[in-house]
């Protein structure tokens, strides 16, 4: 995917506050359990938010998610 298209894709995303918090924690290399503990939510809820993030960003793992955010950060 071309850089401009990726930038547009990320800028046009509507992430919930919780999804943004979880994405940030993923970028900090936190585990699902650490994320759940830090946000006071269940592990199942963390997994649901991550699944939604993957779908919205069209990625299939943490590394791809991190690459998109690091290369094209949201404002």
SS3 content of the chain, % helix, strand, coil (to 5): 70, 0, 30
Q: What are phi and psi of 56, to 5 degrees?
A: -65, -35
Could you give the CA distance from residue 72 to residue 45 in angstroms, rounded to a whole number? 26
Region 47-60 average pLDDT? 96
Provide the pLDDT confidence category of residue 73 given band limits of 50, 70 and 90: low
Share of the chain above pLDDT 90, in %: 68
The per-residue pLDDT for range 20-50, each reduced to its tens digit, is 999 999 999 999 999 999 999 999 999 999 9
Domain count, the chain: 1
Q: Could you tell me the residue range of the domain that residue 29 belongs to? A: 3-71
Residue 52 belongs to a domain with what CATH number?
A: 1.10.10.10
Could you give the CA distance from residue 71 to residue 20 in angstroms, rounded to a whole number? 16
């Amino acid at each position: 995917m071309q850089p401009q298209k990726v930038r547009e894709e990320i800028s046009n995303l509507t992430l919930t506050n919780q999804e943004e918090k979880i994405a940030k924690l993923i970028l900090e290399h936190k585990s699902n359990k650490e994320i759940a503990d830090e946000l006071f939510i269940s592990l199942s809820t963390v997994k649901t938010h991550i699944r939604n993030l993957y779908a919205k960003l069209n990625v299939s793992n943490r590394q791809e998610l991190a690459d998109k955010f690091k290369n094209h950060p949201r404002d």
